[in-house]
Amino acid sequence: MQGKGFIKFIAIVLAIVCAYALSFTLVASSVEKDAKNYAKGDLAKEKAYLDSMSTEKVYPLLGFTYQSVKSKEINLGLDLKGGMNVTMEISLAELVKSLADNTTDANFNKALQNAQVQLNAGGKDYIKLFVNEFEKLSPGVKLADYFSNQDNATQLKSSASNGEVQSFLEKEATSAIDRSFIILRSRIDGFGVVSPNMQKQEGSNRILIEMPGVQDKERVYKLLQGSAELQFWQVYEVQEVVSLLENINKTLASTLKEPTTTASADTTATPATGGKLAGLEKSATDTTKGGKLAGLGKKDSTAAKAAVAKSNPLFSILSIPTYQGENGQPALRPGPVVGWVAQKDTAKVNAYFKMPEVAASIPSTMKFMWSAKPMEGSKVFELYAIKVTSADGKPDLGGDAISDSRNDFDQKGKPEVTMYMTSEGAAKWKKITAQAAGNVNDENDNKSIAVVLDNSVYTAPRVGGEIPNGVSSISGNFTQEDTKDLSNILKAGKLPAPARIAGSYIVGPTLGAQAIHDGLISFIIAFIVILVFMALYYHRAGWVANFALLLNLFFIMGILVSLGAVLTLPGIAGIVLVIGLSVDANILIFERIREELAQGKNVATAIKEGFKHAMPSIIDSNVTLFILGAILWFFGSGPVQGFATTLCIGILSSLFAAVAISRVVFDSLLNRKIEINFDNNFTRNAFKNVAFNFVGRRKIYYVISTVIIVLGFVFYFKNGGLNLGVDFKGGRTYLVHFDKAVNTEDLKVKLNPVFGNETPEVKTAGEDSQVKITTTFHIEDQNPKTDKVVEDALNKGLAGSKYEIVSSQKVTPIIASDIVNGAFYAVLLSCLFMFIYIVVRFKKWQYGLGAVIALFHDVLMVLSFYTILDGVMPFSLEIGQDFIAAILTVMGYTMTETVVVFDRIREKLKESGKEDLHGEARNNLINFALNSTLSRTILTSLTVFFVLLVIFIFGGDSIRGFIFALLIGRIIGTYSSLCISTPIVIDLGSSAEKKN
């Protein structure tokens, strides 16, 4: 085998990378195990232990802290960990109206409304929809008349065309979404979520936020939907505040009789540099004075720490910024930062400042604020003393004074931010900067101005002099990413673009823990089933396949962690499914090897020929499945995207492990003269001499399929349509667990009046004591308080029972329409790509059309079974995102098996020296191809079926409906590939012959 050394090299490198990626999870688990042993069930104690370890090096070999290790471990989804998933929607209608100075023009506002209606109905690109609607309502009127105002003068001329205005609006919409993303990220970070996952949904005005472990949904809703407030404040220098802090420390020492012992924070981190604020025409040199940190990060004994905490309550947790002076003694570090505090101690410092004895000593002209982010490489936050100069306590300047902000470069090529003020803001800015600059000839007299968003300080640059024209540059030790973020923050206060919750999904910790347990059990059992089957059926060769399978699993998990992918329950199902499917490659190879051995060839030659003849089928089947996975990933979201991620990674990994590595192992065994068996006494003659007349009976199969599909239509109308889940119709769904069995009809009667006589849908979910309640009550109401109103109504209706809401989901109509459209395009595009791929690979349109007809047949068959069995099965058969994933996977099954048969037909045609056959010869060839690949089809189908059956039984209620679709799809896919897709090629060919 050529390239054996290269394959070994790749395998070793990949193994090292995967081991490195997975090692962080092992180290994090070890630390958390120590925390549990230390806390002995006390959650507060356990959290305190982990907080104290955050900056400790727990991975000495590589020098990583627990905080770093934690960020690199396996990222579990909400269904495995519990928490909240929220979809935020940025109101572009209000953004556009604000850019036009809130015009009262009737046609303008009508265009905004019409565009929103079209967007809700599934349209894309709100800005384009608005421009089109405006041009319809006001033909010949220039949009520039509305948008070319004083605030936008630098970006849009009064003579601009409608196309230029559209480009301007699109740019502003993108900018609004970007800065909303930064604001939301800042708020989530401040909330204290461990590893929040945030991503902008490309091509839309939505932001997806996943917060593992969060359960306080009311606080999250309030946090996310609050309006951003950008402010500019003058600040005190550290030398002006240090005496006050010393007095506070003394007051606390005398007031606190039993101060809590607190470990000194490890704040050995490089302090964030400030920067300089100047008029655009001025130089932008960094005047921050650096130096070596002193007196920080010392490892005192517990007794010493206790003594310090008793005599210095404040200074035991707050460090005054200092540096080592020229005389070798610590000196105050000039600047606006008055203290460094570990994140875990910020709440205690806040509590100290609020104590009556302390609050009385803090002047009314001063208030404290924290930095928005910790110092780089640490969990240490900076404390600022804000100077209150107005009698009403308002900031010196608000965010509405900003007309624009850009991330630029200064004359030396260093990143900086250029800020433009409105005319009114420029006048105030001139006065403020003059006060802060002080004596312009004395650099030490220059003060800072803090840029504050949501009461957190983002930066506090020094002012080098009065800025009279409202154009300022902010420079410092910035990266391009820093200036981009700061520019967006400065623009955050410019225009109102409210963010509203368009969808949410909440999973309780109990359900998450159960999901982990069920998922792991199903995974282990399914894996054992496959290993045992391969070892029993293929003897020693089966153990080679098992080795490749174990390696494949190791690679999949390592790659997932390396990419930072989120592992969900459908993702686990995807991994198990990929493992089942990866066996397919080995089965294809082994069956071809057995054919070669049956012809009397020696083992070495049979292995070489078996791999050679199996490769086209393996490549074609995996490419088709990968195309489906890519479509799933592109159009899906949440669990569907998680499933698609593991599917695509698994396919690539399986090809390498099952084909390349197994071949290297076989060559190694041959070189060592070790006997290799591909069967045993029980499996040696399996599937030999089978000769089913699939082609001759094809009309019977057509009738069977037609009857089932017609029955599906009958039940469709009988049931009043498909059982659409909340994903497809919008609404709220609550999974409620009761302490005893409940009657769903009784619950409907109780809930109907509290939901405004809007009858909810109540169904049993897995067991009689657990129900799924779905309602569209107030679903179109955008008031932030509506979620609580609906939940209060639910609690009122369930009063008198003992219950727990273990999960909830909210999908607004616009999100639902997007999901429906995404599902439609996913199915349509997959069929198109399949057709193109088959036609290109097999050079006959009949093959492509036959395969696509089979795909539509499969979709209709699965839908028919869903409508026929809806209400019969003891679990929900809803049509939602998971179902679409199942449908596309079923299509992948059919396509994979169909391609294998097509490859065998192509191979036999090539051997015969003919491009095509007709009549009986063609029928015989297709029957031969179907029968010669029957062993592979049956074995692969059974393997995957058993895997799915295990997941169905042990995988938990949350994915039972999803796995049921895959189970019946597995049966239909096998039936379709044997009895529909390939035989239909004959009928298409016959029709073409008659036309000719």
- The confidence score (pLDDT) of residue 264 equals 38
Q: CB of 496 within 8 A of CB of 548?
A: no
Among 475-489, 553-567, 895-909, which range has the highest average pLDDT?
Answer: 553-567
- The confidence score (pLDDT) of residue 225 equals 66
For domain 731-811, the CATH architecture is 2-Layer Sandwich (3.30)
Coil, helix or strand for 59? Answer: strand
Structure tokens at 403: 């007309």
pLDDT tens profile 943-996: 778 777 877 777 666 567 677 877 887 888 888 878 887 788 777 765 555 554
Share of residues in the chain with pLDDT > 70 (%):
78
Residue 502 scores a pLDDT above 60: yes
Distance between CA atoms of 352 and 348, rounded to whole angstroms? 6
Distance between CA atoms of 107 and 574, rounded to whole angstroms? 51
Distance between CA atoms of 641 and 571, rounded to whole angstroms? 9
The residue ranges of every structural domain in the chain are: 4-73, 87-219, 228-495, 508-674+694-716+818-995, 731-811
Higher pLDDT, 480 or 496: 480
Residue 279 scores a pLDDT above 50: yes
Instruction: Compute the average pLDDT of residues 385-397.
Output: 85
- The confidence score (pLDDT) of residue 118 equals 80
- The confidence score (pLDDT) of residue 285 equals 31
Instruction: Compute the average pLDDT of residues 109-125.
Output: 80
Helix axes 162-191, 92-99, angle to 10 degrees: 120
CA angle (143, 147, 149) in 5-degree steps? 135
- The confidence score (pLDDT) of residue 337 equals 92
- Strands of the 499-507 sheet, one edge to the other: 197-201, 206-212, 83-90, 499-507, 803-811, 731-738, 767-775, 761-765
Distance between CA atoms of 889 and 984, rounded to whole angstroms? 22
For the chain, give the mean pLDDT.
Answer: 77
With CA atoms as reference, report the closest residue to 548 among 415, 657, 672.
657
Residue 287 scores a pLDDT above 90: no
With CA atoms as reference, report the closest residue to 775 among 786, 790, 760.
760
Phi, psi at residue 306, to the nearest 5°? Answer: -65, -40
Burial 702-716 (b: 16+ CB within 10 A, else e): beebeeeeeebeebb
Place of tokens 């039972």: 960
Q: CB of 804 within 8 A of CB of 215?
A: no
pLDDT tens profile 854-891: 888 888 888 898 888 877 776 667 777 667 766 766 77
Q: CB of 469 within 8 A of CB of 156?
A: no
Instruction: Compute the average pLDDT of residues 231-239.
Output: 89
Instruction: Compute the average pLDDT of residues 714-721.
Output: 84
At 47, the amino acid letter reads K
- The confidence score (pLDDT) of residue 266 equals 40
Phi, psi at residue 142, to the nearest 5°? Answer: -85, 130
Distance between CA atoms of 31 and 66, rounded to whole angstroms? 8
Distance between CA atoms of 516 and 954, rounded to whole angstroms? 11
At 877, the amino acid letter reads L
| DSSP annotation of 465 | S
pLDDT tens profile 896-908: 777 777 777 777 7
- The confidence score (pLDDT) of residue 247 equals 92
pLDDT tens profile 353-381: 989 989 999 998 999 999 888 887 677 89
Residue 649 scores a pLDDT above 80: yes
Give the pLDDT band of residue 79 (cuts 50, 70, 90): low
pLDDT tens profile 932-942: 878 777 887 78
The CA-based diameter of the chain, rounded to the nearest angstrom, is: 104
At 729, the amino acid letter reads K
Coil, helix or strand for 383? Answer: strand
Least confident of 87-101, 202-216, 307-321, 384-398: 202-216
Share of residues in the chain with pLDDT > 90 (%):
6
Phi, psi at residue 120, to the nearest 5°? Answer: -65, -30
How far, in Å, are 55, 272, 342, 377 from residue 268 at the CA level?
9, 12, 11, 9
Instruction: Compute the average pLDDT of residues 654-678.
Output: 87
Distance between CA atoms of 610 and 595, rounded to whole angstroms? 8
Give the pLDDT band of residue 297 (cuts 50, 70, 90): very low
Q: CB of 260 within 8 A of CB of 477?
A: no
- The confidence score (pLDDT) of residue 174 equals 83
| DSSP annotation of 448 | B
The CATH superfamily of 508-674+694-716+818-995 is Multidrug efflux transporter AcrB transmembrane domain (1.20.1640.10)
Instruction: Compute the average pLDDT of residues 102-125.
Output: 82
- The confidence score (pLDDT) of residue 876 equals 65
- The confidence score (pLDDT) of residue 783 equals 65
Residue 84 scores a pLDDT above 70: yes
Higher pLDDT, 129 or 993: 129
pLDDT tens profile 602-647: 889 999 888 888 888 788 778 877 887 787 777 766 556 767 788 8
How far, in Å, are 249, 340, 426 from residue 316 at the CA level?
9, 11, 43
Q: CB of 738 within 8 A of CB of 770?
A: yes
- The confidence score (pLDDT) of residue 706 equals 93
Higher pLDDT, 130 or 282: 130
Answer whether 0.75 is exceeded by the pTM: no
At 543, the amino acid letter reads W
CA dihedral 575, 581, 585, 586 (to 10 degrees): 80
DSSP 227-260: PP-EEEEEE--HHHHHHHHHHHHHHHHHH-SSPP
- The confidence score (pLDDT) of residue 293 equals 24
